[in-house]
A and B are shown apart, each in its own frame.
Chain A
């Protein structure tokens, strides 16, 4: 059931294009163009059940209607693109395991595949996680990619990626010569 959200919360919902945690200090996030409102709801779960403990809803403040975007277990980070046409969500399944979802926001929110950009990377490693770092502009966002096991050696890795919606992906860190911690 989609909860009722009273108007004052909508008015007070902040703008942000950097990732915002849910649950976190606020339970709503408004898109920069003012059209969309992301709402976090703590779901009622039977004791001892982690699955689906949280829910993200997306309200269309212009066209009306609310979409159930994502049910998740632990916590999520979300950020709208500066033009409000895309939404990125990191779903944290553990403190160091996460996946990313991209939504295209037009008439109704549509989940867009990230396969083109991150699929080839995922296939290079035994385990991979991705986290949204934020939007550079309305067409470009940054991800952190980390995991374990490369082509030839069993090692952990962490890289920063820049993804262009109309183009490809490139590594932005680590820079050459950066030492292990």
Chain B
């Protein structure tokens, strides 16, 4: 049985050239958590959708999954972890959006405040030093509060397709630590 991999994209979903979409099509056992409204990410609805997806995954596989979040999707994972408990093999948290920053778009503000506590499963934050939506200092602070390992990607932007992260073998290598 392969380890289930649940992709949790950010605001307005990840397009076909985004690494999450490409991994989803390439990694056995990978699937996307479908959120109720991609344009208006409502925190409680997204957390409930993630809990439903995790429940389905467990019923089908009885195997702790790996969670792969991008941007606001990372925050859905952390908010979920603050409310629910299930066995999770690991969480790759890529470019978690800083929704507490001035100028954060209105539809995302309901994800603030971001829970800061030690996640009860292994996790890794991956962030860049030039992300318009997350400073390196904030990323390091979030990683520290979540007890996550931290990987800095110099010049990586928001680590999405627009920043050149379509196929992303280096990112997939980080994911593999929980798939072995």
- Contact residues of B with A, CB < 8 Å? 10-19, 21-22, 39-40, 71, 103, 105, 107, 133, 153, 156, 158, 160-171
- Contact residues of A with B, CB < 8 Å? 23-24, 48, 50, 74-75, 93-98, 126-127, 129, 131, 144, 146-149, 155-158, 180-181
Q: Is the CB of B169 within 8 A of A181?
A: yes
Which residues in B have their C-beta under 8 angstroms from that of A181?
153, 156, 164-165, 167-171
B contact patch SS: loop
> Which of B19, B71, B153, B160 gathers most chain A CB within 10 Å?
B160
Closest A-B pairs by Cβ, 4 of them: A156-B166, A148-B17, A156-B17, A94-B12
A131 to B161, CA, bound (A): 12
Within the complex, the shortest CB–CB distance from B138 to chain A, in Å, comes to: 17
Q: Is the CB of B15 within 8 A of A148?
A: yes
Known contacts A126-B16, A127-B15, A147-B17, A157 near B166 by CB under 8 Å: yes
Q: What is the chain B residue whose CB lies nearest that of A179?
A: B169
Q: Point out the residue from A23, A93, A96 that lies within 8 Å of B161, measured CB to CB.
A: A96
Q: Is the CB of B14 within 8 A of A146?
A: no
A75 to B165, CA, bound (A): 21
Q: Is the CB of A95 within 8 A of B10?
A: yes
Within the complex, the shortest CB–CB distance from B117 to chain A, in Å, comes to: 27
Within the complex, the shortest CB–CB distance from A2 to chain B, in Å, comes to: 23
Within the complex, the shortest CB–CB distance from A181 to chain B, in Å, comes to: 6
Q: Is the CB of B14 within 8 A of A127?
A: no
